[in-house]
Amino acid sequence: MAGATDKSEPVRLEDFMALAREGKEVLLSVELKKMIVTQKVHPYEAEEMKSEIDMYLLAADFLFTVGRAISKVSKIYVTGIVGEPKDTAKQNIFIANTRLKLDYKRLEDSHIKFEKKYWE
């Protein structure tokens, strides 16, 4: 079962934070994105719903460089429904940015420098 527990390659934000705390130089750039996906709904779950719902994901790609190795860690911060009321969409953006700020703080506390970006 080597693949499931093998820690030789960093794959989570925490892995890169640990490398930085060990004194390794960890460079980071952040790319934010809004992805549209279609979720299929089982016909027996809710008769009044359509069979497909267009949803969006607010996600961040963290691009880490350690030495010559470049790794990407993607993380979803919030999901919503396309066409939802503007107040709900604004609330989702607020929630996503609040969660992102927590990760930014943890990355900064690990002495990883980067440019902060937020959803608007």
pLDDT score recorded for residue 47:
59
User: How confident is the prediction for the chain on average, in pLDDT?
Assistant: 90
Q: Judge whether residue 22 has pLDDT over 50.
A: yes
pLDDT for the residue numbered 9: 80
What pLDDT score does 1 carry? 40
**Sequence spans of domains, the chain:** 9-109
**Interatomic CA distance for residues 56 and 84, integer angstroms:** 10
Q: How far, rounded to the nearest angstrom, does the alpha carbon of residue 75 sit from its chain's CA centroid?
A: 2
Please tell me what DSSP assigns to residue 113: B
Would the pLDDT of 3 be above 80?
no
> If pLDDT is split at 50, 70 and 90, which confidence band does 62 have?
very high
pLDDT at 2 over 60: no
Residues 6+ apart with CB under 8 A from 41: 49, 50, 51, 52, 53
Residue 110 in this model has a pLDDT that exceeds 80: yes
